[in-house]
Chain A
Amino acid sequence: MKAKVRFLLAIVVLGLLMTGPFIVTSFLVWVDMKDAEREMLTELLLSRLPIGTLMTLFGFAIGVAVLHKLFKQYVEGLLGMAEQLRLMLGANRNFRVRLDGPPEVQQLAQAANDLAAQRDALLDDVDSRIAQANASVEEEKNRLAALMSELAQAVVVCNLDGRILLYNNRARLQFKALSQGPTTVAGGALIGLGRSIFSILEKNQVEHSQEIIRQRLANGKSALANFVTTTRGGQLLRVQMVPVLSAALEPAEAQMTGYVLTVDNITRTLEEEARRDQALHSLTEGSRAALGSIRAAVANLIDYPEMDSELRERFVKVVDDEAARMSQRLDQTMHEFSDSMKTRWPLEDVLATDIISAAQRRIEDKLKLPTKTEDVDAALWIKADSFSLVFALVFIAERLQDHYQVRDLRFRTVSEGKLAYLDLIWVGQAISSETFYTWEMETMQALGETSSLSLRDVIDRHGGEIWYQREKAAHRAFFRFVLPVATPAAELVDERRSTGRPEYYDFDLFKFEDKSIDLDRKLSELTYTVFDTETTGLEPSKGDEIIQIGAARIVNNRLLKQEIFNQIVDPEQPLKPESIPIHGITEDMVRGQPNIDIVLPAFHAFCEETVLIAHNAAFDMRFLQLKEARTGLRFTQPVLDTLLLSAVVHPNQESHKLDVILERLGISIGSRHNALEDAIATGEVFLRLLPLLEEKGIVTVRQALAAAEKTYFARIKY
């Protein structure tokens, strides 16, 4: 019942209360009276009726006034307060109820305000705790990412579908080196967040390992599986798999939710092992026949001393022959296989200069002994156990300082075929060979630390040598370390695009299950390829061609600037001079680049299983579609157009040019008008449009496509 109706009802009740008892009493008295009495009463009453009515009316008016006042203060006041409370509950947390009206209402309002204050404090506390928890989660993620990126091993984390959730820099470089085709095109296309690991590793083998791990888990054994696989390029990879387990109270109940792969390229190791085997074989088996002949001849010479001299001569000749052949074979084997015959202490490939600068730092900091370098080859790689080698250098430096008062030391490298010489040079007094011999054999001590090794051990560990030599003319002497030269596997060049922590991980992908594109998935959950092309002109049907494709990926609402595709294409036709200022690509830049027949398959692979996004996508798609017949490649995935989506969100805005949208959405982008930069700008726009689309109830790809289509027809003039 409305407040107004109740108010009117209350007035009626008041009127009845004020007149009712009098009328009822009068009626009862009237019924009881005799006629004479009634006449007398009528006369008496009628003469005084006006004043009675007036008094009643007056009383009624006062009653109504009081009632109205009470109604205003209690009913309407409370209604107003209720509205204010609602406001406080929803729209504006900081609103407080106004304190007016009677004291009881004011007290109520005060109590409500106090409750609100308490609520705010609690909410703030919850918020700050959430923020704290998020920050610590973020920090842990960062720590993990940092750790991973520094690992010397290639590590890839996948979910059960084989989607890559995380990979480190080493993995990126290693797989990049494995990828086929022109590396500038295929580079990095194989590995990427949300991509399938099966493009790199054999699916059957990975699934087999998963099965082994499940069995081991079920049997309570340590869950781990190894396999060796061959890549399409013929490289051998050793892969170790350990499971990522869901958090469970009992370890036995833990479910496998993904796995960590550690990948080693063992092609070279295996080749080396094969060579070592071959050497061993040639030394053993090869020697058996010769030794057999010698032994038999010698036995005959000894056992039958009475044989005639001609025969004796022949046996001696056999011995001589075979001994010579064996020596020759030994020399040959040692020469061919010297590298493989070295002791197998695990040596790493390091730059000689890195060893030297590490030694220099310690010598200068700890011994306060100045050092210099002369003729150090910056590109000389050696095989070394850097820790023990640096320790050995510091050990010698300290000895020279203590016993020979050497004032400064110099380092030099000389490369001699398979051997590298690392010289430690000083000016002044020569040392005796006995001294050097003791230094070589005793366990090393330097900077107060003791090593378990002697200098000789370190040298042996490297399969190297050390000697002491004098340069008499220059009054100098030096220790020469002879170390094996390393030929590092095609040095993995790190070319991070931007500074800062790379975005190589995305744990949210653990929830990522579907393989094909489901149009009813939420926009924010999908993987996208945002791309842009530069072309020779605006009319593909009249022979204009693509000259650049730039693209980046969006995975789980993050624009991954590390996983990019950026390729200039040779259009095989002259560029239009007037277009050059627009795209900034010159004849020189396109010359020698692959043509579209090579680039398009690589781009097709790059955007496989993703939704495409482009600004004014129709234009770019047209160029791609015109190549379908020639390359046989079809881009069948859904395409979203940021131009249309912007028009969906802001239908009343005049312009939806990329620049204008960037400004409207407050996105600042360094430079533009290169395909990659425009693709990245488009990606940023898309991510900003997502929440705005959601406000309009557009959540899924299907809805976005439908809305875009509607807008497209509305804007058909464009």
Chain B
Amino acid sequence: MSKKILIVDDEPNIVISLEFLMKKEGFEVVVACDGEEALAKVAEFAPDLVLLDVMMPKKSGYEVCEALRADPAQAALKIVMLTAKGRDTEVAKGLAIGADVYMTKPFSTKELMLRVRETLGQA
């Protein structure tokens, strides 16, 4: 059975590429446009991995990440932060609050796929 991926980003221009890419790679894909929707979709859709942006309306990616990590039911969920916040302090924060992978935009799609597979144990 194919793995499920939730894409969380408020920028449609990146969502379109990510969605296309993930579908092409054989994942089942759902999209959320802000932090709150993301939490709702996680509960409803139970994804294996979340591609999470940081700067979003309503709830930031950091908050979403913290909320997910605080929920024991989601312990197995993998989180890949994918964001324009590239300062080393921000990377450190992302990893500290529980992201499995932190990638800064712009990124190479090949590397993204590699890290996603790695994280899902498909490498």
Contact = CB atoms under 8 A, between A and B. Distances in A.
A295 B108 contact: yes
B108 A315 contact: no
A292 B110 contact: no
B80 to A, nearest CB: 13
B105 A292 contact: yes
B74 to A, nearest CB: 26
A307 B24 CA distance: 10
Nearest to A299: B109
A286 B105 CA distance: 10
Contacts of B109: 295-296, 299-300, 303
Contacts of B86: 284-285, 288
Contact of B17 (A288, A289, A318, A321): A318
A314 interface: yes
A295 B109 CA distance: 8
B37 interface: no
Interface of B: 11, 13-14, 16-18, 20-21, 24, 55, 82-86, 104-110
Contacts of A292: 14, 82, 84, 105-107
Contacts of A311: 20
A307 B23 CA distance: 13
Contact of A291 (B16, B20, B105, B110): B105
A322 interface: yes
Contacts of A314: 16
Contacts, number: 69
B38 to A, nearest CB: 17
Interface string A491-507: 00000000000000000
A285 B13 contact: no
A314 B20 CA distance: 11
Interface in A61-96: none
A288 B9 CA distance: 14
**Chain A contact surface mostly:** helix
Contacts of A300: 17, 20-21, 109
A293 interface: yes
A289 B21 contact: no
Contact of A296 (B21, B24, B85): B21
A165 B93 CA distance: 52
A241 interface: no
Interface in A273-325: 284-286, 288-289, 291-297, 299-300, 303-304, 307, 311, 314-315, 318, 321-322
Listed from nearest, the 3 A-B pairs whose CB atoms lie closest are: A292-B105, A288-B84, A296-B17
A304 B24 contact: yes
A289 B18 CA distance: 13
A307 B18 CA distance: 15
Nearest to A303: B109
A252 B67 CA distance: 61
Given A289-B55, A296-B109, A299-B109, 7 more contacts: A289-B84, A295-B105, A295-B106, A300-B20, A300-B109, A303-B109, A322-B13
Contacts of B107: 292, 295-296
A311 B13 CA distance: 12
Contacts of B105: 288-289, 291-293, 295
Nearest to B21: A300
A321 B21 contact: no
Nearest to A289: B84
Give the residue among B17, B55, B107 with the most A Cβ atoms within 10 A.
Answer: B17
A293 B11 contact: yes
Contacts of A295: 105-109
A247 to B, nearest CB: 51
A306 to B, nearest CB: 10
Interface in A617-645: none
B81 to A, nearest CB: 13
A296 B108 CA distance: 7
A295 B103 CA distance: 14
Nearest to A319: B13
